[in-house]
Amino acid sequence: MGDEGLLIIGEEDGSILGWEWQDNLINDVGAFTVQDKMKLDGFVDSVQNVQITDLDDSGYTDLLITSNEQAHWLHTKVLKNKISFPVDENFTLGVFANNNSDKVEFYSINADSNFEIISGEITDEMFALEGLQLYDVPFYIGIFVAILLMVLLYLHSEWYVVNTVGVLVGAGVIVMLGVAFVPTLIIIFMVLAAVYDAWAVYKSKHMLELADTMIGLQLPILLVAPQDKGYSFKDEKVSISDNNPIEPPIVSEVPTKKVKVKKNKEAMFMGLGDVIFPGMLVLSSVQWLDSDYGFKIAMFTLFGGLLGYFTLMTYVARGKAQAGLPLLNGGAIFGYFIGGLIFAGTAIFELGITW
């Protein structure tokens, strides 16, 4: 077998195990060690066949895993699912061959009471898409909408324009970060952000001054909820921070006619991060948890975040600035663990982090 090798076994429950061995030159006995880097448990429901193969000249061997009449070719050392295609229910062995040309054929050997070989060409259209994919119509629509919103922000920065841009930006950030990090990492980020938010609002109070600046600049990194009809964000002059009070108008001693002063209309403000952090945990739950219960736990997370939001609004309605992340993140995390204990049991506490 040589000085080193790899043995891979697929089981009916969907688990895929691997063992590596290297010959011990002193005792002339092979030492087996468990291969724990593949992380393929749960990739398929039941393994019908697993084999080491090679499709191209990348320098790495690949894995071909077959389950439920579907074969999956996992490419190079990252084991990325490069292509999936149907095979016969009696599939026994698969072989890739390029015959010294650009044309690649896959030979499926099926064995039951009869012996059968079926072949087919592997074309580029069958491979999974990789990298940035730009399609003409969506691309140009996206560019047009982005430019239009930028112009509206500059010329007419009303609350509905700011909210529209904020929602779109927040949704993009939630998707990018939610699919990139496992729930455990996101929970760590949420706890740290909540602690910082509470300190910045209640202790140092610099977050209130920052909010005043953002409102003054009318930037789309907050959401505006008008409390009165006819509210205009462009005319907003209310200060959240106590350090920036609005100067009262100078009253002249000369008698003048009584003029009815127009009352300032009010609105509530929420930072975009107050929406992004709970949304990241919701999306990460769907992306990384088992498909049998991932969506259910995500809904519990969303419900917990909404409970935190309603609690936050009861305090905000009293007219005093509040740190949003402690309640919003806390509610989302609480909902995540409650849903996890119901549907996944103690497995919800597994970190899922490779150190």
Residue 334 CB partners (closer than 8 Å, separation 6+): 304
**Residues 87 and 176 occupy one common structural domain:** no
At residue 58, the pLDDT reads: 66
Domain that holds residue 88: 4-126
At residue 258, the pLDDT reads: 46
At residue 254, the pLDDT reads: 44
Mean pLDDT of 123-133: 69
Record the tokens describing residue 313, joined without a space: 């609004």
**Residues 100 and 205 occupy one common structural domain:** no
- pLDDT at residue 192 tops 90: yes
Q: How far is residue 339's CA from residue 300's CA, in Å, rounded to a whole number?
A: 5
**Residues 143 and 98 occupy one common structural domain:** no
Q: How far is residue 224's CA from residue 235's CA, in Å, rounded to a whole number?
A: 13
**Residues 13 and 154 occupy one common structural domain:** no
For 263, the enclosing helix (H) or strand (E) is none
- pLDDT at residue 36 tops 80: no
- Per the DSSP assignment, residues forming a β-bridge with 94 are 108
Q: How far is residue 116's CA from residue 218's CA, in Å, rounded to a whole number?
A: 70
Q: Which of 345, 353, 314, 308 is nearest to 330 (CA)?
A: 308
Looking at per-residue pLDDT, the higher value among 93 and 1 belongs to 93
- pLDDT at residue 304 tops 80: yes
| 165 found inside a domain | yes
Mean pLDDT of 45-60: 73
Mean pLDDT of 322-335: 90
DSSP 77: T
- pLDDT at residue 123 tops 80: no
Q: Which residue has the tokens 């509610």?
A: 331
**Residues 327 and 178 occupy one common structural domain:** yes
Mind listing the pLDDT tens digit for each residue in 240-273?
Answer: 555 555 444 444 444 444 444 445 557 777 888 8
Looking at per-residue pLDDT, the higher value among 27 and 304 belongs to 304
Across 53-67, 91-105, 154-168, which has the greatest mean pLDDT?
154-168
- Per the DSSP assignment, residues forming a β-bridge with 224 are 269
Record the tokens describing residue 16, joined without a space: 């895929």
CB atoms within 10 A of CB 138: 10
**Residues 198 and 291 occupy one common structural domain:** yes
**Residues 63 and 164 occupy one common structural domain:** no
Mind listing the pLDDT tens digit for each residue in 207-238?
Answer: 777 777 777 777 778 888 787 777 777 666 55
Mean pLDDT of 78-99: 76
Residue 300 vs residues 214, 282, 289: alpha-carbon distances, Å: 33, 9, 13
| 235 found inside a domain | yes
Across 50-64, 134-148, 164-178, 206-220, which has the greatest mean pLDDT?
164-178
Query: Mapping DSSP to helix (H, G, I), strand (E, B) and coil, where does residue 215 land?
Result: helix
Residue 158: phi and psi, rounded to 5, are -80, 170
Among the candidates 108, 126, 144, a domain finishes at 126
Record the tokens describing residue 220, joined without a space: 């789309």
Cut 0.75: pTM above it: no
Residue 29 vs residues 13, 17, 25: alpha-carbon distances, Å: 32, 22, 8
Q: How far is residue 32's CA from residue 5's CA, in Å, rounded to a whole number?
A: 10
- pLDDT at residue 307 tops 90: yes
